[in-house]
């Protein structure tokens, strides 16, 4: 009997042995900087003419590794290969396909510190954030493997005497998997393996900023024995490889996580039926957020302040679930400002491989410039209460920044900044606070801090987000515990890590035999 799904425990870095293992892993990954990682098409490792250099955002002079860059032609070859592999992979049972995921989870557990260390160096994740990313990747493997087995079981139908009826789920075809850099192992693993365990074959295009951890995912899948052709690996630019995958007539579905801008572009392009295409492409798109935490006059203010700071500034605010708006009842506004500033000023900003750092860099030059430009916009829209400046010139560090007295309609209260910037907004009543929280195009996560049952129940009905939390931070969703996905411009609400997720990569077939 398969044991019930349990979330992978986080590493206890306060323990000297665990700490020593992580230090050793970071040192070992640093020595891999001359490694070059290939594309995989039909199982063949391919070196191309161009290399993507993966840069450590904590020390921009430092290279983490190099990955060969694919082109639109590689994407097309990969789709053709995936279509061939689909003919036999799709016929295997759910239970057989699930076994590859269990095996991959075991390999990731063995390589846990190395994988986390890679993300510390490549994505600028602090130790705890990188460890949580690896744990989530393992969770996705364990969870989707179990879900696949459940999906393969006979489905209940109403019986009639004169017929034998059956309904079962079959895969869709070739999928394009287009992933972001901010959860470069967890989200990539979840998106890729959910699709293949359901019987599809895929072409995986990781984000340009984090190709090394993606290449290591491929090593894991290879070691787990996933047959050649099932996952085709084509790192490369969104405009070339990404668009070739989206536009291809043999692409049956696109699973995308990333920004609203690119998600909308993919959705639109995928809607066009290409010559020779015999289906409507399915698009699963998980996009940005403008997440709010509401604090009412009855809340535990110390706790609320700690959780807001963690939600806003851990991983430098680069989570789709990060709190970028704190909506505070006017009667506790000043007290909350004091608490938020005290906690924020104590945050240790520093290189992600330093075990003591609590806030690392933003991912790259583009992100750095974008966040700094929003800080400039913020100066005209609110009062700068803390931060606002680059924190070190060696990497892409930005001080945790808080703006007070921001209007709900201000740009820094409406647009996703994706950096360590928090806007404080005053509300005259709880109902007004929820209206402000709902007043953006997004609807991903949100939290309410209150000890008033009526307020919590009001928020339960009226706060329009895919993931609503009470008296806890807005980040840190766990697989199986908090199925994840947002409303409106936050995406298609696919609920990753939930029981409905795999269905999106299947179609149902009903077979009826007259007796």
Nearer to ligand NAP, 172 or 284 (CB): 284
Provide the b/e sequence for 303-321 (b: ≥16 CB within 10 Å): ebbebbbbbbbbbbbbbbb
Site map 9..48 versus ligand NAP, x via CB under 6 A: ----------------------------------------
Q: How far is the CB of 363 from ligand NAP (least distance, A)?
A: 8
Residue from 76, 126, 179, 193 in contact with ligand NAP (CB under 6 A): 179
Among 51, 237, 341, 355, binds ligand NAP (CB under 6 A): 237
In this chain, which of 108, 186, 207, 459 binds ligand NAP, going by CB under 6 A?
207
Q: Burial letters for 240-262: b for 16+ Cβ neighbours within 10 Å, e otherwise?
A: bbbbbbbbbebbbbbbbbbebeb
Q: How far apart are CA 380 and CA 378, in angstroms?
A: 5
Q: Considering only residues 292-331, where is the footprint of ligand NAP by CB under 6 A?
A: 320
Segment interacting with ligand NAP, rule: CB under 6 A, options 56-64, 123-131, 141-149, 251-259? 251-259
Using CB under 6 A as the binding rule, whether residue 122 contacts ligand NAP is answered as: no
| Least Cβ distance, residue 445 to ligand NAP (angstroms) | 9
Which of 65, 171, 175, 180 contacts ligand NAP by CB under 6 A? 180
Residue 68 · residue 235 · CB < 8 Å = yes
Could you give the CA distance from residue 180 to residue 259 in angstroms, rounded to a whole number?
A: 8
Q: Which of 32, 42, 62, 243 binds ligand NAP (CB under 6 A)?
A: 243
Contact pick of 81, 173, 229, 289 for ligand NAP (by CB under 6 A): 289
Neighbours of 22 (CB within 10 A): 23
Torsions phi, psi for 496 (to 5 deg) = -60, 140
Total length of the chain: 515
Within positions 486 to 515, which residues make up the interface with ligand NAP, using CB under 6 A? 486, 490-491
* 408-447 residues near ligand NAP, rule: CB under 6 A: 416, 418, 444
Concerning whether 286 is annotated as a catalytic residue, the answer is yes
Judge whether 444 and 423 are in contact, CB under 8 Å.
Answer: no
Q: What are the residues facing 514 on neighbouring strands?
A: 163
Instruction: Give 198's contacts (C-beta < 8 A, 6+ positions apart).
Output: 94, 97, 148, 151, 169, 171, 502, 505, 506
Q: Which of 122, 131, 286, 353 binds ligand NAP (CB under 6 A)?
A: 286
Residue 20 burial by Cβ neighbours in a 10 Å radius (0-12, 13-18, 19+): exposed
Closer of 173 and 258 to ligand NAP (Cβ): 258
Counting contacts by CB under 6 A, is residue 257 touching ligand NAP?
A: yes
Q: Is the separation of the CB atoms in 425 and 449 below 8 Å?
A: no
- For the bound state, the minimum distance from the C-beta of residue 242 to ligand NAP, rounded and expressed in Å, comes to 3
Instruction: Kindly state the smallest distance separating residue 481's Cβ from ligand NAP, in Å.
Output: 15
DSSP conformation letters of 29-77 = HHTTTT-EE-EEETTEEE--S-EEEEE-TTSTT-EEEEEEPP-HHHHHH
Chain mean position to CA 119 = 14
Which CB atom, from 243 or from 405, has the smaller least distance to ligand NAP? 243
Q: How far is the CB of 513 from ligand NAP (least distance, A)?
A: 42
Strands 390-392 and 397-398: antiparallel
**Which residue in 286, 351, 399, 416 is the catalytic one?**
286
Nearer to ligand NAP, 97 or 495 (CB): 495
Smallest gap, in angstroms, from Cβ of residue 459 to ligand NAP? 21
Rounded Cα distance between 116 and 355, Å, is 13
Candidates 33-41, 237-245, 271-279, 324-332; binding stretch for ligand NAP (CB under 6 A)? 237-245
d(Cα 444, Cα 263) in Å, to the nearest integer?
15
Count residues binding ligand NAP (CB under 6 A): 34
Which residues bind to ligand NAP, rule: CB under 6 A? Answer: 178-183, 187, 205, 207-208, 237-239, 242-243, 246, 257-259, 262, 265-266, 286-289, 320, 416, 418, 444, 484, 486, 490-491
Active site residues: 286
């Amino acid at each position: 009997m398969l044991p019930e799904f349990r979330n992978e425990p986080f590493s206890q870095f306060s323990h000297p042995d665990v700490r020593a293992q992580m230090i050793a892993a970071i040192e070992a990954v640093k020595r891999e900087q001359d490694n070059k990682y290939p594309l995989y098409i039909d199982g063949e490792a391919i070196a191309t003419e161009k290399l993507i250099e993966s840069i450590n955002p904590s020390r921009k002079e430092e290279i983490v590794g190099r990955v060969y860059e694919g082109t639109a032609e590689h994407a097309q070859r990969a789709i053709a290969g995936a279509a061939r592999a689909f003919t036999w992979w799709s016929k295997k049972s759910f239970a057989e396909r699930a076994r590859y995921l269990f095996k991959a989870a075991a390999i990731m557990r063995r390589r846990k510190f190395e994988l986390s260390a890679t993300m510390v160096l490549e994505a600028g994740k602090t130790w705890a954030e990188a460890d949580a990313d690896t744990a989530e990747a393992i969770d996705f493997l364990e969870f989707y493997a179990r879900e696949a087995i459940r999906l393969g079981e006979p489905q209940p139908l109403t019986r009639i005497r004169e017929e034998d009826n059956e309904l079962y789920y079959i895969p869709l075809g070739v999928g394009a998997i287009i992933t972001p850099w901010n959860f470069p192992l967890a989200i990539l693993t979840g998106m890729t393996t959910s699709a293949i365990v359901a019987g599809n074959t895929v072409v995986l295009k990781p984000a340009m900023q984090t190709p090394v951890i993606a290449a290591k995912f491929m090593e894991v899948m290879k070691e787990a024995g996933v047959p050649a052709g099932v996952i085709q690996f084509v790192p490369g630019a969104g405009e070339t490889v990404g668009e070739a995958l989206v536009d291809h007539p043999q692409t049956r579905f696109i699973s995308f996580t990333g920004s609203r801008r690119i998600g909308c572009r993919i959705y639109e392009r995928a809607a066009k039926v290409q010559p020779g295409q015999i289906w409507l492409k399915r698009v699963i798109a998980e996009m940005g957020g403008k997440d709010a935490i509401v604090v009412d006059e009855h809340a535990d203010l110390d706790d609320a302040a700690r959780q807001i700071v963690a939600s806003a500034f851990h991983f430098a605010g680069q989570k789709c679930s990060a709190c970028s708006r704190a909506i505070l009842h006017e009667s506790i506004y000043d007290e909350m400002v004091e608490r938020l500033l005290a906690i924020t000023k104590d945050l240790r900003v520093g290189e992600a491989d330093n075990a003591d750092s609590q806030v690392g860099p933003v991912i790259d030059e583009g992100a750095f410039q974008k966040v700094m430009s929003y800080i400039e916009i913020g100066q005209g829209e609110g009062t700068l209460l803390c931060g606002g400046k680059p924190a070190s010139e060696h990497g892409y560090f930005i001080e945790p920044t808080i703006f007070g007295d921001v209007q709900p309609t201000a740009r820094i209260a409406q647009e996703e900044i994706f950096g360590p910037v928090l806007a404080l907004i005053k509300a005259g009543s709880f109902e007004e606070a929820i209206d402000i929280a709902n007043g953006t195009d997004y609807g991903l996560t949100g939290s309410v801090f209150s000890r008033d049952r009526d307020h919590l129940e009001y928020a339960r009905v009226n706060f329009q987000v895919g993931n609503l939390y009470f008296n806890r931070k807005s980040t840190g969703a766990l697989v199986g515990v908090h199925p994840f996905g947002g409303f409106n411009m936050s995406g298609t609400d696919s609920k990753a890590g939930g029981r409905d997720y795999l269905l999106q990569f299947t179609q149902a077939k009903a077979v009826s035999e007259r007796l």
